[in-house]
Amino acid sequence: MLKKLLSVIMPSPEERRAEIYRNIIRHFAKVGGQLFGPLPEDRRREFFCLDEHTWVWHEEWTDKNSIRRNVTTRYDIRPNGILKAQDGQPYRPLSAEEARRLHTAAHMYQQQVHAQLGV
Protein backbone atom coordinates (compact mmCIF):
# COMPACT_ATOMS: atom_id res chain seq x y z
CA MET A 1 0.00 0.00 0.00
CA LEU A 2 2.73 2.47 0.96
CA LYS A 3 4.73 1.53 -2.13
CA LYS A 4 1.71 2.20 -4.35
CA LEU A 5 1.10 5.57 -2.70
CA LEU A 6 4.76 6.55 -3.09
CA SER A 7 4.69 5.59 -6.78
CA VAL A 8 1.88 8.09 -7.32
CA ILE A 9 3.59 10.84 -5.33
CA MET A 10 7.15 10.15 -6.50
CA PRO A 11 7.37 8.57 -9.95
CA SER A 12 10.36 6.40 -10.75
CA PRO A 13 13.29 7.98 -12.61
CA GLU A 14 12.23 6.14 -15.78
CA GLU A 15 8.67 7.47 -15.50
CA ARG A 16 9.98 10.96 -14.86
CA ARG A 17 12.29 10.80 -17.92
CA ALA A 18 9.40 9.56 -20.07
CA GLU A 19 7.19 12.41 -18.85
CA ILE A 20 9.89 14.99 -19.57
CA TYR A 21 10.42 13.52 -23.06
CA ARG A 22 6.66 13.68 -23.80
CA ASN A 23 6.50 17.29 -22.60
CA ILE A 24 9.44 18.27 -24.80
CA ILE A 25 7.86 16.56 -27.82
CA ARG A 26 4.54 18.35 -27.14
CA HIS A 27 6.25 21.73 -26.85
CA PHE A 28 8.26 21.39 -30.04
CA ALA A 29 5.25 19.89 -31.88
CA LYS A 30 3.47 23.20 -31.21
CA VAL A 31 6.55 25.12 -32.38
CA GLY A 32 6.60 23.06 -35.58
CA GLY A 33 2.89 23.64 -36.08
CA GLN A 34 3.48 27.40 -36.20
CA LEU A 35 6.14 27.27 -38.90
CA PHE A 36 3.73 28.05 -41.69
CA GLY A 37 1.85 30.95 -40.16
CA PRO A 38 -0.93 31.59 -37.69
CA LEU A 39 -3.86 29.21 -37.35
CA PRO A 40 -7.56 29.96 -37.03
CA GLU A 41 -9.04 29.40 -33.56
CA ASP A 42 -10.69 26.12 -34.54
CA ARG A 43 -7.52 24.56 -35.94
CA ARG A 44 -4.60 22.75 -34.33
CA ARG A 45 -1.44 21.80 -36.18
CA GLU A 46 1.64 19.94 -34.98
CA PHE A 47 4.84 19.08 -36.82
CA PHE A 48 7.71 17.38 -35.05
CA CYS A 49 10.59 14.97 -35.15
CA LEU A 50 9.64 11.90 -33.14
CA ASP A 51 13.02 10.20 -33.45
CA GLU A 52 15.98 10.16 -35.80
CA HIS A 53 13.95 8.46 -38.57
CA THR A 54 10.40 9.72 -38.03
CA TRP A 55 8.60 13.02 -38.65
CA VAL A 56 4.93 13.60 -37.84
CA TRP A 57 2.45 16.16 -39.19
CA HIS A 58 -0.91 16.31 -37.37
CA GLU A 59 -3.74 18.69 -38.10
CA GLU A 60 -7.22 19.08 -36.56
CA TRP A 61 -10.00 21.41 -37.67
CA THR A 62 -13.75 21.87 -37.72
CA ASP A 63 -15.25 21.64 -41.20
CA LYS A 64 -18.10 23.76 -42.60
CA ASN A 65 -20.63 21.25 -41.18
CA SER A 66 -19.16 21.66 -37.66
CA ILE A 67 -17.65 18.18 -37.77
CA ARG A 68 -14.25 17.80 -36.11
CA ARG A 69 -11.67 16.40 -38.57
CA ASN A 70 -8.05 15.35 -38.20
CA VAL A 71 -5.24 13.99 -40.31
CA THR A 72 -2.00 12.46 -39.09
CA THR A 73 0.85 11.96 -41.53
CA ARG A 74 3.93 9.98 -40.57
CA TYR A 75 7.14 10.24 -42.59
CA ASP A 76 9.69 7.44 -42.18
CA ILE A 77 13.18 8.28 -43.37
CA ARG A 78 14.84 5.14 -44.69
CA PRO A 79 18.15 4.50 -46.47
CA ASN A 80 16.35 3.93 -49.78
CA GLY A 81 13.96 6.90 -49.51
CA ILE A 82 11.17 8.50 -47.53
CA LEU A 83 7.89 6.71 -46.96
CA LYS A 84 4.63 8.37 -45.96
CA ALA A 85 1.54 6.98 -44.23
CA GLN A 86 -1.64 8.87 -43.43
CA ASP A 87 -4.23 7.81 -40.89
CA GLY A 88 -3.31 4.14 -40.81
CA GLN A 89 -3.08 3.70 -44.58
CA PRO A 90 -0.17 1.71 -46.05
CA TYR A 91 3.16 3.45 -46.52
CA ARG A 92 3.95 4.86 -49.94
CA PRO A 93 7.03 6.61 -51.34
CA LEU A 94 7.12 10.40 -51.38
CA SER A 95 7.23 12.27 -54.64
CA ALA A 96 10.34 14.35 -55.27
CA GLU A 97 8.33 17.56 -54.71
CA GLU A 98 6.88 16.39 -51.41
CA ALA A 99 10.34 15.25 -50.28
CA ARG A 100 11.66 18.77 -51.02
CA ARG A 101 8.83 20.33 -49.01
CA LEU A 102 9.47 17.96 -46.09
CA HIS A 103 13.17 18.80 -46.23
CA THR A 104 12.37 22.53 -46.12
CA ALA A 105 9.94 22.07 -43.22
CA ALA A 106 12.44 19.92 -41.29
CA HIS A 107 15.14 22.55 -41.80
CA MET A 108 12.81 25.33 -40.58
CA TYR A 109 11.84 23.19 -37.59
CA GLN A 110 15.47 22.57 -36.73
CA GLN A 111 16.22 26.31 -36.87
CA GLN A 112 13.32 27.07 -34.51
CA VAL A 113 14.29 24.34 -32.06
CA HIS A 114 17.91 25.49 -32.02
CA ALA A 115 16.82 29.11 -31.52
CA GLN A 116 14.68 28.12 -28.53
CA LEU A 117 17.45 26.01 -27.07
CA GLY A 118 20.02 28.75 -27.62
CA VAL A 119 22.19 26.49 -29.78
| pLDDT, tens only, 36-56 | 888 888 899 999 999 999 999
The 3-class SS string of the chain reads CHHHHHHHHCCCHHHHHHHHHHHHHHHHHHHHHCCCCCCCCCCEEEEEEEECCEEEEEEEEECCCCCEEEEEEEEEEECCEEEEEECCCCCEECCHHHHHHHHHHHHHHHHHHHHHHCC
pLDDT value of position 56: 96
pLDDT reading at 14 higher than 90: no
Cα atoms found within 13 Å of the Cα of residue 44, Cβ hemisphere only: 10
pLDDT reading at 2 higher than 70: no
Measured in Å, how far apart are the chain's first and last C-alpha atoms?
Answer: 46
83 vs 8, residue with greater confidence? 83
pLDDT band for 7, please (50, 70, 90 cuts).
low
pLDDT digits (tens, 9 = 90+) for 55-84: 999 999 999 999 999 999 999 999 989 999
pLDDT reading at 5 higher than 70: no
Averaged pLDDT, 1-24: 75
